[in-house]
Structure 1
Amino acid sequence: MFKLKSLPLFLLLTTITLSAFAQNTGKIAGKIIDQKTSETLIGATVGIEGSAKGAAANVDGRYILADLKPGKYVVIVKYIGYQSKSISDIEVKAGAVTNLDIALSEATTTALKEVVVRATYRQASVASLYAIQKNSVSISDGISSELIKKSPDRSTSDVLKRVSGTTIQDNKFVVVRGLSDRYNSASLDGTPLPSTEPNRKAFSFDIVPANLIENIVISKTATPDIAADFAGGNIQVLTKDIPDQNFVSLGAGYSYNTQSTFKNFQSGYRNTSDYFGFDGGARELVDNFPTTKQVIGPPRLTNQQNIQSINSLNNDFNIYNKKAFLGQSYQFTLGNVQEIGKNKNRFGTTIALTYRNAETTTPGLIRQYNNFDFKEDQYKFSTNVGALANFAYSFGNNKITLKNLYNRTFDDIFTYRTGTNNSNGANDNRFYAFDLTQKALFKTTLDGDHKLGASNAKIDWSLGYSNILNNQPDQRKINYVQPNAGGAYVASITNLGKENARFFSDLNENIYSGKVDFKLPVKLFNQTSNLKVGIASQYRKRDFNARFLGVIIKDGTSDIRERPIQTLFGPNAINSGAFELDEISAPNDNYNAHSYTNAAYAMLDNKLSEKLRVVYGVRVEKFDLKLNTLDPDQPQPRAELNNTDFLPSVNITYSLTTKANLRASYYRTLARPEFRELAPFSYYDYELLATQEGNSNLKRTAIDNADLRYEFYPSAGQIFSVSVFYKKFYNAIEPSIDDVNSSTTISYFNAKSAYVYGAEMEARKTLDFIDDAGFFKNSTLYANLALTKSRVQNPANPNLLEPSRSLVGQSPYVINAGFQHNAFNNALSLNILYNRLGKRIFYAGGSNFPSVYEAPRNVLDFQIGYKVLKNKGEIKLNGNDLFNQNYNFYYELDKNPKGGTGNTFKKYKPGSTYALTFSYNF
C-alpha cells in the first residue's frame, strides 16, 4: 500500500525520471500581454509555423509549447481584435526552456484582411519587456528572481536594500523613502504580512529566504486596489508556483566571517534541537510552575515550595567555549508540472526546504550613553529553517493556487559586558545576559483567478491565514558589581531589577483575510479601459503574556554572592534554602487585542487617448480596534480606535514618446497604531538601555501624498528615471523620549505636524555603446540615488533639547550602485554592489541628551558565479561587507558631528563574510 510518508520520495523519483526523458526535447514558454496596458490576453493562441502543435494562454496569460526537438522555430500568435504576430529565430535547446514573452497590439481596422506583424525572437523579447516596464499603473520599483540569483543576497531583507530609495535597519527592517518600518506595509502572495516583533510595528524580512522569491515590487504610490496602510511603500512579495519544467535542485554553502569563524565562541546552555530552530522546552517554565499570585502572595511560597520551584528552572549558567564553525546553508527545491487531459490543463507543484546556521561574534562593542560606559562581547547562535509548498491548477480560463510558507528563526545571544554604571555607584560591573528569541511564521493563501465570458472580464479572489509566534522562553540577566576598587565582585541578587531578572514572554497572533476583485474591460473614448471594483476584509487577534521572575538571596551578606556565575545558583545553595523566588508583576504585563479592517473600492483604468492614461478611484476603509489588559483599576478596553476613511487617488501617465513616460499622482493613505504602540506594557531593553512602553491614546495618521516622475527606457532592461515626492502627515506617530531619570523611557506620541519631501534617480545601462563586440557588450552599470528631507515637531515640552527633528530612521541620502558582467556564453557572471546611506536618527533625543544618529558607512558586496557540468551546476563565491567599517551610533554634544569620546551610544564592527556555495539542477 502506498503510504503518505513515501510521497516526497515518490515525487523526487518521478521528477528525476521525467527530467531524464525530457532531456532530448525543449520548450517555449512565456506570457502574452497587451502592448499598451500589459494586461494579460487570456485565450490567445500560440502555434509553431508548419506544425499542428499549439497552446492557448491561461488565465495568467501564460502558455507552454512542449516536446520540441532542438532547433530554430517560427511562432505564430493570434488573438481576436489584435494584430497577429509572427516571431522567427526562436532557438530551442534540449532539456531547456526558451522564455518568450509576447506583446500584441490592438487591430487598427475592422477589415477582414488579417494583418501579421513580423519580428525576430530578440525584437519580440525587447518589445514585451518594454511594455511591462512602461505600463505599470503606479510609480513602483522592483527586483526579479533573475536579479536575485545574481546577487549575494540570502534573505528578502538583503534583496530589498538594492531597490531604489530603500534601506534596511538592523539587517531586517525596511525603510522606504526615508520612512521607517512603521510607515510601510507588506504582503506575501497577495495577503497582508503581520508584525513579527513584540516591541515595534515591523515585519522581519530576514525570515523569508531569497531563493523562494519570484519577484518583489514596491508600490510607492497608491491605487484603490491595494491596502492604504502605508506612506513609504507597499512591499509585495510573490513566491513561485507553477514551474515551466520539472526539476530538482540541491544546494549547499559554507561561509567564513573574518572576526568570528574558527575563533573563540561563548554561549550558554545548548540543546541539540537548537540546531533545528526549536528550544525543545528545556528553557520554558514547567506546567505546574507557581502562578504570579502564588509567588508574590500573600501568602508567599513555603521554603520547600521555593526550593522545588527554583530547581524546576534551568539553572545551568555555565559559559561554554568552543571554536565558531563555518556558517552553513542548505536548500532543496522540487518543481513539477503535469498536463492533464486532452485540454492540457496544468497542475504545478513547487516545494522548497531551506536551512541556515551561523555562529557570529561581535567583540569590543562600545556603549557610552547617559550613566553608562560599557564594553561588551556578543556571541550569536542563529538557526533558520524554512519550507515552502505551493500548488496550482490551471484549467481553461481558471486557475486555483494554494501557497504555503513556514519559516522559523532561532537567535540565541550571549552577552558579556564590563564597565561603569554611575547610577549604581559601582567601580566596575560584570554583566551576563542569556537571551533567546524564537520566531515562527506560518502562512497559507488560497487564490482563484477566473475569466468570465467572452468580454475578458475577470474575477480574482483570495483567502489567507497567518500565524505569528514570538517567544522568549528564558531571558536571564545577572550583574556583578565591585563596590570597592580592587575588591571582590558580588552578584546583585538582593532584589529583582533590570540587572537581575528572568523574562518569559509569548506572543501569538492570528490573521484571517479575504478579498474579491472584479475587472471589466469597457470602451471609452474609442480606447479599451478597465473598470475594477472589489471588497476586502481582515481580522487580527493577538495574545501577549509576560512574566518577570527572579531568584533573590535571603541574606544579602552571604558569601554565596561572591561565587562565579557558573556556581551562583548551584544545587547545594538552592537546596540549603538560601534563595527565594520573586516576581515583578504589573497588570499590563499581559494584553490581548483584535482589529477588523473592512474595505471596498472602485477604480477606472482609463485610456483617454493613445498617449494619456488616467487611473483614478476611491477606497473606503472601516477600521475597528480594541485592546484589553488585566488592570482592574482601569476601564477596558484600554485602547480603542474606530475610523472610517475615504481615500481618493489618481495616477496619470502621459507617453511622451514610445520610450518615455511622464507620471503624476495624488493619493491619501494611512498609518495606524500597532498593537504594541498602544499597549501600556513596559519592557526594559538591556541593549537599548531603555524601557519601552506604549501609549493607549494614540490616533491614526492620515497622509496626503504627491509624486511626479519622468522615466525613459533607451532599450530593453535599461532605464533612466527621476522622481520627486511630497508627503504631509496629520497626527504622525513617532517615538517620544523621557531621559530625565537614570533610566530612559521610550514611548510614542502623535506629532502635531510632519512632512517629508525628496527626489529619486535611477539608471541602468548596458555598456555596449563603448564596444558592442567585446567586454562591454555583456556589462551593465546601474545606480539609484534618493535624497530626502523630513521634519516633525516633538511634544510641546520646554525641557526637550530639540523642539523639532527629522523622522526617526530617515536618511538624507541613499546610494546604491552596481556593476554586472557575463562572459563565456553566460557561464561566468560577476556582480559588484555598493551601498551607502546618510546619517539618520536611530534614537530620538530627550531633555538631557540629543538624538542618537547612525553614521554613514560604505558597504561593498560581490558575487562571482560559474556554471559547470553542462550548465546544470553552479559555483558561487560571495563577499559581504568587504570594507567592514564600524557601525557607529553617536549623539552630538556642543554640535560636534564627529561623535568623539563620550559621545558614542554604540560602536562595533560586524566583520566581512565570504561564502562558497554549490547548487545542482537535475
Structure 2
Amino acid sequence: MTIILFTALIQVANAQTTGKIGGKIIDQKTSETLIGATINIEGTTKGAATDVEGKYLLSAVAPGRYTIVVRYIGYQSKSVSDIVVKAGEVTNLDVTLAQATTQALKEVVVRATYRQASVASLYAVQKNAVSISDGVSSEVIKRSPDRNTADVLKRVSGATIQDNKFVVIRGLSDRYNTATLDGGSLPSTENNRKAFSFDIVPSNLVENLTITKTASPDQPGDFAGGLIQISTKDLPDQNFISFGIGAGYNTASTFKDFISGPRNATDYFGFDNGKRQLANGFASSAQVANGLTPEQNLNMLRSLPNDWNRYVNTALPTQNYQFSIGKVKNYEKSGNRFGAILSLTYRNSQNIYSDIQRDFYGYQYSDDAYKFSTNVGALLNLGYTFGKNKITFKNVYNRIFDDQYLGRDGHNNSGFDVNYYAFDVQQKALFKSTLEGNHPLGEKGAKINWNLSYGNVLNDQPDQRKALYTRQQGTDNPFLAVLSSLTKENSTLFGKLNENSYSGGVNYSTPIKMFTQSTFKAGLASLYRDRAYNVRFLGPLLSDQVLNDPDLTRQIESLPLNQIFSRNLINAGYYDLNEISNIPSDSYNANSLTNSGYLMLDNKLTEKLRLVWGARVEQFNVNVTPTEYSNPTDKVHQNYTDVLPSANLTYSLTDKINLRGSYSRTLARPEFRELATSSYYDYELLAFQQGTPTLKRTNIDNFDVRFELFPSAGQIFSVSGFYKKFNNAIEAYNDDATSTRTIRYFNSDYAKVYGVELEVRKSLDFIQASDFLKNTTAYANISVAKSTARNPVNSGLNLKYAERQLIGQAPYVINAGVQHAFFQNKLTFNALFNRVGQRLSVAAGGQYANVYEVPRSVIDAQLGVKVLKGKGELKFNAGDILNQRIGFYYDQNENKKYDSGDYTQSSYKPGSNYSLSFTYTL
C-alpha cells in the first residue's frame, strides 16, 4: 500500500506541470452526445475523439491560452477561443454543435469564446431534458452542508425528507418513489416499510442526483412521485489524492451524559463483534416449543446476551474522515484510457433525544433515547475506454451501525406507573456492483448500452432487548418487573433481513429519418429479488418453582435491571427459556421477478416541437411465503402484466423558453413487507406493524404541464402543474379493533393529487450591476398540493372517515436559499431554508384518530474558505439552527391543527448541529 501511495504521489506531482481540457460534445437541439467527434488544438498536432458517451480529454497541455476546433460529419464545425489551461488542473468545456443547413462542400465554422461555448452547452442540457426533472450536481453538493444523499434531496424542488432518510416527492409518501444507483434498481432497506434509506449513501461519493417527475418508456414504471437516480463518480480526468477530516457539535448531545448498553471496540468500525448474536447451535423454535431439558434450558439461557448494565459516558463530538484516490492512465498511441477511483468514508455520532413526549389514549410517557451511530463506506469504480467504447465497473458498499438505548417513565390508563428499558442494535448494509458497457454500432450514430448488476441489502437486529417494570399508580410501592408472561413488548428480538438482487438490461438507440430529426430507442431488462427475513422473540420467564413462592417471586421482580437476569439467578434454576409462538409466522421468504421491454421514439417534429413517446411493458411475478402458517391465504402469489404508455411534448417558444406537457401511466406494486403477515412491535410507536396479503397494485395516471424560462446559463424560472389519479392506492391505517393499535396496509378505492410547483434560481445582478450581486444567487422552489382519498366501502376495515387526504401528502413544501462567492470563489457562503406543511402519517381507525406530522422550519448554513493555494478548503457548517420540535399528533378534535384538544404521539427537539471540516487535494 505504501508503494502504491508513493507512486501515485510522484505521478500526481509530475501532472502538476501540465493541464488538460475535457468535456462533452452534444447536439444543440437534443443534447444527444456525438460519438466520434474530433477535437483539435489549433496550431498543434494534439487532438482527441469523443467516446460513446460523447466525452473527450486532451492531456499534457502546457499552461496557456488556446483555441480548439470541433468537427463532426453532418454538423457545423465550431472554433472555441480563449480557453485558459492551468498547471495541474482540468479545464472543463462542453461544446454544442448544430446540424449543417447545407450540403455544400465548403466547411462552415461557427466561432465562439470559451464563455460563450460553456453557456451554450449549459443551456442545451437544461432545455433538452426529455422529462420534467430536477437535479443536483457534485459542485452544488460540495457547497452545501449536506453529509449524505438524504440531506441533498432536501434541496430538490418538490422533495422533502422524513426521519432524516426517507424521501417524499410532490407530497407523495416514500412508498410511491423508486431509486436507482448507477443505473441499477435499489430495493427497500427497511424491515417494516417500502422505503430506501438515503442516509446510507454519503454525499461526497455522488457525481450527480436527478429526480425525474414524469415517466418515459426507458425508465422503470414503478413510481408516481419521482424516480431518484444517483450516479457515483466516474473516471477521473486526472490523478489525485484527497483526504478530509471533520468534527461536529450537537447542542442537545455533545459533552452531555450518554447512556448505553455494553460497547465493543468493533462498534466504532460499524460491525458487531458477534457477542450479540444467537450462539451457534442455539435451540430451534420447535425445540423450545416441545420443551427443553433442565440442562438444555440452562445452557441456552447462559448463551443469551446478558449484560443489562447501563453505562454512562460523555457524548463525544461527531467525527468524520474521508480518503479518496484517483488514477488515470492515457495510452497515447491508441488513445485508450484506464481509470480508477477509490474512496473511503467514516462517520461516528452520539446523539441524545431528551424528553420525548408521548401522551395519547391513556399513555403519558417521557422517553430519553441515546443513539450511537457509525457509518463506514467504500467506493471502487473502474473504467476503460477503447476507441469509441467504454466499459465501467462500479462498486459501492456502505454500512450503518446504530446502537440505541431508550429509557421511559410515566403511567398508562390501566392504573400503572411504568419504567421501560430498550436496548436496540441495528446493522444496515448496502452493496451494489454494476458492470456497464457503451458501444457504437456502425458509423451512423447507432449505439448500444448494456448493464449487469448485483445488489445486497442487510438489515440485522441481533439483540433488541426490552424490559418492563410496573407498579400501582399513586403508591410508593417498588416497581416490579414483568416476568410471568412473554410478549413482544418485553422480549428479546433477534431479527435478520437479507436480500439479494440480480438485474440486467440492454438498450439500443439509432437515428432515423422521420420529420426533421428522430431517434428510435428500444430495450429489455430483468430484475430478480430474493429476500429472507427471520425473526425470533425469546426471553427468560420465572420458573414454576419461583412462581409458587410469592415471597421469592416478589424478591426477584423487585431487583434492579442490572441484577434481575444475573448469572447466579439463572444457575439457580429460577428462569425458563420461552419463545413467542410464530403463528401466523413472523418469518418469511419472498421473491419477485420483473421482466420489462420498451419501444420509444424521440421525434423533432419541427425546429421548435419535440415529442418523446412510446410504451413500456412490465411483467411481474411475486411470491411471499411465511415460514410457518396455518391459513393458506397468508401465502401470496401474484402474476400480472401492465402496458405503460407515455408521451412528453416540448415546444420551444424561444431559445430561452420551453412549454412542456406530459402524460404517463405508472404503477405502484406492494412491497414484500406490505404483503407479509409478519407482525413487528415498535416500542417507540407503541404499536404493531403488519402486512396484508390481499393488497393489489396501484395504477396511476399522471398529467403534467410546465413553463420554463432560462434567463441565463445555470438560472431558471419555471411553473409546473400536475394531476395524478390513483386506482387502489396503497396506504397505512390504524387498525384498532383490539386494545393494541396495529398499523396495517390497505387499498383505497380512489385517490387524486393535484398541485403546482414554482422554481426560481437567479443571480441578483438584475437589481444593480455590481460584482457583489453578480456573484450572489438566490433560489427558491415552492410546491403546493391538494389530495383526496376515498376509503373502500363494505371492506370490513375499521376505518373512521369516508374521505381524507392521501397519506404522506404535504399541502406545501418550501425550499429556499442564497449563495455568494467572494474573492474569485475563494470564500463561499450558502444559507438554506426548508419547511414542510402538515402531512398525514397514518389514517384513522375506528378509535384512534388521524396521525399528522407537525410542520417545522429548518435553516442550514455553510461558510467555505479555500486555503493553501486552493488545494485545501475549510468548511463551517450549521445545521437545523432553529431546532424546532419534531412532532406527530392524533387530531382528536378533527380541526387539522395541533392544539390542546389533541394527543401527542411523539414530540422532541433534535438539537442544532455545528461542524468544522478540512479537505485537501493533491
TM class by smaller structure = over 0.9
Q: Which moved further from structure 2: 39-48 or 892-901?
A: 892-901
Aligned to 1:684: 681
Query: CA–CA distance in 1 between the matches of 2:527 and 2:807?
Result: 29
2:709 maps to 1:712: yes
Q: Aligned to 1:509, what secondary structure does the other structure show?
A: strand
Three-state SS of the structure 2 residue aligned to 1:566 is helix
Q: Deviations over 1:359-400 (max 9, x none)?
A: 000001101122211001000000000000000001111101
Structure 1 position 632, deviation (Å): 5.0
Shift of 1:483: 2.5
> Quick check: 1:294 aligned with 2:287?
yes
Shift of 1:799: 6.1
Q: Does 1:728 align with 2:733?
A: no
CA distance in 2, matches of 1:606, 1:644: 28
Which residue identity is paired with 1:785? I
Name the residue aligned to 1:507: 497
Task: Show CA shifts across 1:638-664 (max 9, x none).
Answer: 011111111111100000100000000
1:911 aligns with 2:911: yes
**Which of 342, 351, 354 matches 1:360?**
351
CA distance in 1 between partners of 2:157 and 2:404 (Å)? 33
Name the CA shift for 1:615/1:810 in 2 (closer, same or farther; >3 Å). Answer: same
Alpha-carbon deviation of 1:84?
Answer: 0.8
Aligned residue for 1:821? Answer: 820
Secondary structure of residue in 2 paired with 1:524: coil
Q: Of 61, 82, 86, which residue of structure 1 is paired with 2:75?
A: 82
1:492 is aligned to 2:482:
yes
1:127 matched to 2:120? The reply is yes
Residues of 2 paired with 1:450 and 1:772: CA distance? 48
Q: Deviations over 1:847-883 (max 9, x none)?
A: 1122111111110000100000000000000000000
Q: How far did residue 730 of structure 1 move?
A: 0.9
Rounded to whole Å, the distance in 1 between the matches of 2:802 and 2:906 is 24
Task: Tell whether 2:565 aligns with 1:569.
Answer: yes
Aligned to 1:540: 529
8 Å CA contact 1:594–1:626 kept in 2: the answer is: yes
| One-letter amino acid of the counterpart of residue 884, structure 1 | N
CA offsets per residue over residues 298-351 of structure 1, 9 Å max, x none?
xx1222322221111111000000110010100001111111251220111011
Point out where structure 1 has 5 or more consecutive residues left out of the alignment: 1-5
Q: 1:629 to 1:391 in 2, by over 3 A?
A: same
d(CA) in 2 for partners of 1:371 and 1:227?
Answer: 46
Q: Distance in 2 between matches of 1:743 and 1:884?
A: 33
Task: Map 1:138-537; keep pairs closer than 5 Å.
Answer: 138-297=131-290, 300-423=291-414, 425-426=415-416, 428-483=417-472, 485-525=475-515, 527-537=516-526
Q: Which amino acid aligns with 2:563?
A: T
For the pair 1:586 / 2:596, whether they are aligned, the reply is no
How big is the shift at 1:11?
3.5
Partner Cα separation in structure 2 for residue 332 and residue 810 of structure 1 = 39
- In the aligned structure 2, how far is the partner of 1:44 from the partner of 1:632? 63
**1:836 aligned partner:** 835
1:891 alignment counterpart = 890
Give a deviation string over 1:59-111, Cα, whole Å, max 9, x none: 11111111122211111111111111111111111111111110111111111
Counterparts of 1:626 and 1:824, CA distance in 2: 61
SS of alignment partner, residue 725 of structure 1: strand
Q: Distance in 2 between matches of 1:681 and 1:895?
A: 32
1:15 is matched with 8
Q: CA deviation at 1:691?
A: 0.7
> Partners of 2:46 and 2:7 in 1: how far apart?
26
What SS does the corresponding residue of 1:123 show, helix, strand or coil?
Answer: helix
Structure-2-length-normalised TM-score: 0.97
Matches within 5 A, 1:694-709: 694-709=691-706
Aligned-pair CA distance for 1:113: 1.3
Which residue identity does 2:579 align to in structure 1? Answer: E
Distance 2:230 2:898 in 1: 39
Measured on the aligned residues, the alpha-carbon RMSD in Å equals 1.2
Letter of the 1:458 counterpart = K
Counterpart contact for 1:812–1:839, Cα < 8 Å: yes
Which 10-residue stretch deviates more, 631-640 or 371-380?
631-640
Residue 34, structure 1, aligned to residue 27, structure 2 = yes
| Distance (whole Å) between structure 1 residues aligned to residue 133 and residue 7 of structure 2 | 41
Q: In the alignment, does 2:875 pair up with 1:865?
A: no
Distance 2:628 2:383 in 1: 49
Cα distance change on mapping 1:398 and 1:799 into 2, 3 Å = closer
Q: For structure 1, which segment, 67-76 or 27-36, has the greater mean C-alpha deviation from structure 2 after superposition?
A: 67-76
Query: What's the TM-score once normalised by structure 1's chain length?
Result: 0.97
The DSSP-based 3-state class of the residue aligned with 2:299 is helix
SS in 1 for 2:338: strand
- Report how far residue 769 of structure 1 moved: 1.8
Aligned residue in 2 for 1:61: 54
Look up the equivalent residue of 1:855 and give its one-letter code: V
The structural deviation recorded for 1:270 is 0.8
* 1:628 and 1:636 in contact (8 A); partners too: no
How far residue 13 of structure 1 moved from its aligned partner, in angstroms, is 2.2
Identity over aligned pairs, percent? 57
- Deviation string for 1:475-525 (max 9, x for gaps)? 000011112611101111111014320001111111000000000101212
CA distance in 2 between counterparts of 1:499 and 1:655 reads 61
Whether the 8 Å CA contact 2:361–2:903 is kept in 1: the answer is: no
Provide the rounded CA distance (Å) in 2 between the counterparts of 1:101 and 1:623: 41
Greater shift in the superposed pair: 889-898 or 825-834: 889-898
Q: Give the letter aligned to residue 570 of structure 1.
A: S
CA distance in 2, matches of 1:788, 1:505: 39
1:552 to 534, 537, 541: 541
Cα offsets for 1:15-43 (capped at 9, x unmatched): 21111011111111111100000000111
Distance, in Å, in 2 between the alignment partners of 1:459 and 1:637 is 44
Cα 1:94–1:341 change in 2 (3 A) is: closer
Of residues 838-847 and 866-875 in structure 1, the stretch that sits farther from structure 2 once superposed is 838-847
1:123-158 Cα deviation digits (max 9, x unpaired): 000000000000000111110000000000000000
Whether 2:113 is the aligned partner of 1:117: answer no
How big is the shift at 1:798?
Answer: 8.9
- Per the alignment, residue 752 of structure 1 pairs with 749
Amino acid at match of 1:668: R
1-side partners of 2:538 and 2:628: how far apart?
A: 19
Cα distance, 1:636 vs structure 2: 7.5
User: By how many angstroms is 1:561 displaced?
Assistant: 0.8
Q: Which amino acid aligns with 1:69?
A: A
Alignment of 1:847 with 2:846, yes or no, is yes
Q: Give the letter aligned to residue 337 of structure 1.
A: V
Asked whether the equivalents of residues 807 and 842 of structure 2 are also in contact (C-alpha less than 8 Å), the reply is: yes
- Partner-residue secondary structure (3-state), 2:881: coil
Deviation at 1:741, TM superposition (A): 2.8
- Residues 42-51 or 788-797, more deviating: 788-797
Deviations 1:434-463 (A, max 9, x none): 011101111100000001111010000000
Equivalent pair of 1:890/1:899 in contact (CA under 8 Å): no
3-state SS of the aligned residue for 1:304? helix
- Read off the aligned partner of 2:211 and give its amino acid letter: I
For residues 795 and 486 of structure 1, do their structure 2 counterparts lie closer, same or farther at Cα, with a shift above 3 Å needed? farther
**How many residues were matched structurally?**
910
Structure 2: state its 5+ residue gaps: none
Residues 680 and 695 of structure 1 are in contact (CA less than 8 Å); yes or no, is this contact kept in structure 2?
A: yes
